[in-house]
Amino acid sequence: MALVRATDKKVGAEILVVGFTREPGAKSNKPRFTIESGDMAIDKAGLLDALADMGATGAADEVIKLPASGYKLLVLTGLGETNSSGIYPHESLRRASGAAARSLEGQVNATFSLPYDSIEALAAIAEGALLGAYTFDEFRGSSKVERRPALKSIEIFTVKAKKKEVAQVLRRAEIIAEQTHLTRDLINTPPSHLTPDSFAQRLKKIALASGLKVEILNHTQLKAKGYGGIIGVGQGSANPPRLLHISYQPKGRASKKLKRFAFVGKGITFDTGGLALKPAQGMEAMKSDMSGAAAVSAAVIAIAKLKLNVAVDAWAPLAENMVSDKATRPSDIIKIYGGKTVEVLNPDAEGRLILADALVRAAEVGKKLGGLDGIVDVATLTGAQVVALGTRTSAVMTNNEKFRESFLDATQRSGEQFWPMPLPEELRPSLDSPVADLANIGDRMGGMLVAGIFLKEFVSPELPWLHLDIAGPAFNEGKAHGYTPVGGTGVAVHSLVALAEAAVSS
């Protein structure tokens, strides 16, 4: 993990990252550019002409490296356009510094001097740089020597370098980036090396080291206590299922008006589809089917490290959805924790089954601890999500519009793209079963919403609930962009932390 610090000393012979953009309306064949170097004055002589001659556009994700006197390297990162108030959206800054950091693999340190309108903008620059400085080479053998490590040390140039608030937001950026990197590492780790048990043990170690409480239910305990969803999904695999519970309770503060959230993440360490076997093409991406579990676990660790004055329980039902003579058959009936029965018509609709168990349990425990202010599940739940919103926008569904608004507010600060989706009542009857309380699949059309409606059956209407379907954004099968690498992205970690932060201040 790279480290970040603020500096107000002008660099000598260092790598300097600045922003640039093409001036609007400059349509002539010799476009004009603006170099945005924030608080650092730099000698622009010759640069603007060079950019024009190179055919630069200043668009997002364009990174140009130039030799320039006084620096080891001058890196110009495209900022895209300002908003209507003439400022660069914080997410544009985050992405621009992320793209620059990605382009600096193999380098040790770089100084970032980008335009900012507030401490939050400065934080976004640091976040982007830290998030962009990520590589995953753990499983390389002979090719490891050819790989260049991620940027190690990031300096943010600002005249406010000595301000306490700046140190604070940079520390926060490091914590969020560290936990996002953990999430990405878990997603990128192949299922041969990440089983339900090894996931749970790995998180236990990290969570205990951060002062959190951890409980892991094993296969026997899950069976004895009636977790029919987790057992039913996991029973086809030689790697038995687990339920991981990480809890954070802030220390030494009056717990009276303390808010409490539960985060529940889908942890399918590999989804073959079970007896509804998925086609071979694309199945490899199903190593990412535990992205929700990784995100909620990492988020609660980040919240603890930030010492936020809010209580959070993370729940990760973990199972491997495999094919075997033990696997759940289409038409089998399972009993979810709490007693509802489900006819499993399609063993590939497994996420909702393990989430149902965990949602019921999380609400039960939350109630015992004095009541939950909200419950959020995070899941790579449906292919329909990707069809509807593509690979970079996640969906948010809810039983409580106010809670959804506060979450969407939080995403304005995290920069992660979420879009509200409905849970239309008329889709509910499609989940009726002739033999059980519910079937695990319904109408094929609107499959993302049907999955949300299924989960809603396991949440009390009085409990504010959000369902985040991150199927597309969790795993980047395309090219790297902004601060997002290829593979696991770590989406939702930052937004969950931002949601918890909002609960502290309100």
Distances (CA, A) of 233 to 93, 269, 497: 42, 11, 30
Binding to ligand BES in span 78-107, by CB under 6 A: none
Query: Which two tokens mark 243?
Result: 């339920």
Beta bridge partners of 66: 74
Q: DSSP secondary structure string, 155-194?
A: EEE-TTTT-HHHHHHHHHHHHHHHHHHHHHHHHHS-TTT-
The contact mask relative to Mn ion for 342-361 (x = CB under 5 A, - = no) is ------x-x-----------
Quick one: which segment of 294-302, 343-351, 355-363, 420-428 binds Zn ion (CB under 5 A)? 343-351
Minimal distance, residue 451 CB to ligand BES, in Å: 7
CB 343 within 8 A of CB 433: yes
Q: Is 469 an interacting residue with respect to Zn ion (CB under 5 A)?
A: no
- Of 278, 340, 392, 456, the active-site residue reads 278
Minimal distance, residue 306 CB to ligand BES, in Å: 30
Q: Is 380 an interacting residue with respect to ligand BES (CB under 6 A)?
A: yes
Q: Is 416 an interacting residue with respect to Mn ion (CB under 5 A)?
A: no
Minimal distance, residue 505 CB to ligand BES, in Å: 34
Contact residues for 199 (Cβ-Cβ < 8 A; gap 6+): 186, 242, 244, 267, 269, 290, 293, 294, 316, 318
Q: DSSP secondary structure string, 289-300?
A: TTHHHHHHHHHH
Binding to ligand BES in span 432-471, by CB under 6 A: 441, 447, 471
CB 352 within 8 A of CB 334: no
- Of 94, 352, 361, 404, the active-site residue reads 352
Candidates 175, 384, 455, 496; binder of ligand BES (CB under 6 A) is 384
Q: Is 343 an interacting residue with respect to ligand BES (CB under 6 A)?
A: no
Contact residues for 190 (Cβ-Cβ < 8 A; gap 6+): 139, 287
Minimal distance, residue 482 CB to ligand BES, in Å: 21
CB 375 within 8 A of CB 359: yes
Candidates 3, 201, 383, 456; binder of ligand BES (CB under 6 A) is 383
What residue type is assigned to position 10 of the chain?
K
Binding to Zn ion in span 286-315, by CB under 5 A: 289
Q: At what angle do helices 291-305 and 493-505 cross, to 10 degrees?
A: 40
Binding to ligand BES in span 283-312, by CB under 6 A: 289
The contact mask relative to Zn ion for 249-288 (x = CB under 5 A, - = no) is -------------------x--x-----------------
Burial class (CB in 10 A: 0-12, 13-18, 19+), 442: buried
Q: Is 320 an interacting residue with respect to Mn ion (CB under 5 A)?
A: no
The option from ligand BES, Mn ion, Zn ion, none interacting with 185 (CB < 5 to 8 A, set by class) reads none
Q: Phi and psi at residue 268, in whole multiples of 5°?
A: -90, 110
CA distance linking residue 237 with residue 209, whole number of Å: 30
Helix (H) or strand (E) holding 494: helix 493-505
171 is catalytic: no
> Which residue is closest to ligand BES by CB?
383
The option from ligand BES, Zn ion, Mn ion, none interacting with 447 (CB < 5 to 8 A, set by class) reads ligand BES
Q: Is 271 an interacting residue with respect to Mn ion (CB under 5 A)?
A: yes
266 is catalytic: no
What residue ranges bind Mn ion (CB under 5 A)?
Answer: 271, 348, 350
Catalytic residues: 278, 352
What residue ranges bind Zn ion (CB under 5 A)?
Answer: 268, 271, 289, 351
